Structure formats: structure tokens, C-alpha cells
Amino acid sequence: MNAAHSARKVFEGVATRSQMFKLFDRHNQRPNRWEADPAPLYSGEWFEIEEALYDYMLEILPPLWMRGPIFALREFLTGSATSVFFALRIDNRTRYFHGYCDVSDGTAVERMRKAIIERETRPVRAMTRAERLEHIWSSTADAYRGYAGDGFPQALRGRRTVMFWSAGHGTLLKLLDHLTDDEIAVKLPVHMRHLPSIAA
């Protein structure tokens, strides 16, 4: 499983309403869903949304807090992790983002704000390998993604998998982080396949 805690982009492009709600629970098939705290899995994940979705989420319930153009949802994902919405001025226009932050950490929201701005002000549109894998995971239907089970060695069980079609072998279940660069390119939308790579 992906248990990284640092701020990380998990979807390339601007999420529509249906994509946003799918992204809210992109780990819904995780093993031991009702036993383990999901906060470490979600905390730090962020993606861009449409302005109308930012406004919609602000109007659903009174926010937990609002600091200028940033607000946190009153309903927590778990423990102290909740959705935080950002309206940020980047390259002379306002853009809108959602991220999961642990609000018990007084620096988490500001760290995420800085990470989003740093990522989105890069002069050349590019994606890291990790971002490519996260986009594949985010945009793959539940029926075609999952977690390694009994058919995998014990040490690999619980890691994320995706279905992959191979001309020589038919449909294969592969570990997400074991996809080759060529396999990643095939799984990405056409307009993303030739974006330059950047160092992590």
C-alpha cells in the first residue's frame, strides 16, 4: 500500500464532480478497511478541482474553519484527518484544490499549500514516475484495480495492483509499482503519454 505521508499529487488535470467523489475514496478496496486507521494512507494526497466544486463543498456544511481562501470540512475522514480546500493564485489566475490534511498537526495545511504552489509553478508541464502511477491508480475503475492477495508471495500481499493487457500473455494482474515505463505510457491517457519526466 501507499503509506507516504508527504504532500503528493494523485490526479493530473482538473477533476470533474464525478472524478472528485471517486478520488475522495480512492483506497476503498484496501485490505482490512474496517480495522486499520486510513489517515496515514490519505493524509497528504491532493488534486485540482473545478471552481464550482470548491463553492459546492463550501456550501454543504459550515466549515470547521476558514482562513481566507482555505477551509476545512467539519466531517472528518477519520481521527483528525479531513478535507481541506484551497483557492490559490498561481501564474496570475485562481485555481482550486482539495487535499487531505491531519489538522492536529498545526503545520500540515501550510505545508500542503506550499507543496501545491511549488508543484504547479514548475515552468514545464511534467510528471514524476510516482505521479504517473498515482494518476493510473486514481483513474482506473475499481473492477480493474485492487490489492495483491493469495496469488502473490507473502511479502507482496496488500500492495496495489492493476489489470494490464499484454499482447503475448493476455490480461495480467500486475503490481502498480512494477509497471515498466512502456506499460505506464499505455495506461495513461494519450495526451499524457509524452509529458516530460521530472525527478521525484
| Co-location of 65 and 136 in the same domain | no
- Provide the number of structural domains found in the chain: 2
Q: Tell me the C-alpha distance between 140 and 165, whole Å.
A: 14
Give the least confident one: 43-52, 57-66, 109-118, 165-174. Answer: 165-174
Of 120, 149, 173, the residue at which a domain comes to its end is: 120
The answer to whether residue 71 is domain-embedded is yes
pLDDT per position as a tens digit, 147-199: 998 888 899 988 999 998 777 777 888 899 999 888 888 888 766 766 666 65
The residue range of the domain holding 172 is 129-192
Query: Which neighbouring-strand residues pair with 85?
Result: 71, 98
pLDDT computed for residue 10 by the predictor? 95
What is residue 3's predicted lDDT score, i.e. its pLDDT? 42
> Is the same domain home to 94 and 153?
no
Whether pLDDT at 200 is above 70: no
User: Which triple of cell numbers denotes residue 22?
Assistant: 471517486
1 band by pLDDT with thresholds 50, 70 and 90: very low
CA 196 to chain centroid, in Å, comes to 20
Asked if the model's pLDDT at residue 48 lies above 60, the reply is yes
Q: Is the pLDDT of residue 87 over 50?
A: yes
Q: Do both 92 and 44 map to the same domain?
A: yes
Q: Is the domain of 114 the same as that of 133?
A: no
Last residue of a domain, which of 79, 103, 120? 120
Of 33-42, 77-86, 95-104, 150-159, the range with the lowest mean pLDDT is 33-42
Last-in-domain residue among 81, 100, 120: 120
Q: Give me the percent of the chain exceeding a pLDDT of 90.
A: 52
* pTM of the model as a whole: 0.86
pLDDT surpassing 80 at residue 39: no
Cβ 156 vs Cβ 148: under 8 Å:
yes
Check residue 20 and give its pLDDT.
95
Instruction: Report the alpha-carbon distance of residue 103 to residue 84 in Å, rounded.
Output: 9
Task: Note whether 116 and 139 are same-domain residues.
Answer: no
156 and 87 together in one domain: no
